[in-house]
Amino acid sequence: MITDIFDRDQVAAHVVSHPERFCRVPAVLAAQWAYLKLRRGQPVRFDRLGEPAYLIDRPEASPLAVDLAERSPRISAAVARRKAQFLPPEQWPTP
């Protein structure tokens, strides 16, 4: 747990040790990794680094989020139909 938000060493260690949380922005991982290497006195030569040997997949959407995305249009349409029952005829939505 990060105790001091301004302690860059702790922030960098947290980012590097939790790649699944930062997989959407690989540059953040690379920058924090390079920072930690330089703090240890190890040079970083980006021109000699190859492509990553592995890929971090994005986390899958939760089943609840998928279900909500599928149901949302139907729920909105049902609510609109229900609300239309209480409107005067001139304000009824056209199908």
Give the tens place of pLDDT for each residue, 9-59. 888 998 889 888 887 788 888 889 999 999 999 988 878 877 766 666 666
Give the CA radius of gyration of the chain. Answer: 25
Residue type, 32: Q
% the chain with pLDDT above 70: 80
The full DSSP string for 26-94 is HHHHHHHHHHHHHHTT----GGG--S-SS--PPPPPPHHHHHHHHHHHHHHHHHHHHHHTTS-GGGPPP
Residue whose C-alpha is closest to residue 42's, from 33, 30, 51, 52? 33
